[in-house]
Amino acid sequence: MQSNPATLQKIIEERGTLVCSASYDTNVAPWYRGNATVFKYDGHFYSMDDNDLFEGPYHTLADALGEAHLCFGDVSITISVTGLTPAEYAGRMILDAPAGHIVTINGQRWVLGEDRQLSLLNPPRKVIVRRKKND
């Protein structure tokens, strides 16, 4: 008996564990917003997105990550992922955006360099101001 892909997808979304969510937004036009996800269910990984992508099963999260999760243009990007470090995820991304473009992965800000690689953007350092005592 073959299962209906829509039914299987619904079961995975309801009973599975969300292990990756990639959201993007142009901040200009509502039709350029979207989300791609990966769920873990019954020991396997399944890829989904807003454009009716439903693929799987995959044996690893890395195998399940596809274009919808990793390839972006000059858009606002927010990634939430478990099972890969932010650095591992950043190393897989392909961006068609200008140098200086910022991507957020698990709350960390990453910046696209001239070499087309993402690197962690260091948070600003705290400035300690010492006040003189009044005599």
Nearest by Cα to 58 from 83, 82, 80, 39: 39
- Residue 5 in this model has a pLDDT that exceeds 80: no
At 59-112, the pLDDT tens digits run 999 999 988 889 898 889 999 999 899 999 999 999 999 999 999 999 999 999
Q: Which residue has the higher pLDDT, 128 or 42?
A: 42
Question: Any idea which residue has 């910022």 for tokens?
Answer: 102
Nearest by Cα to 16 from 58, 66, 70, 63: 58
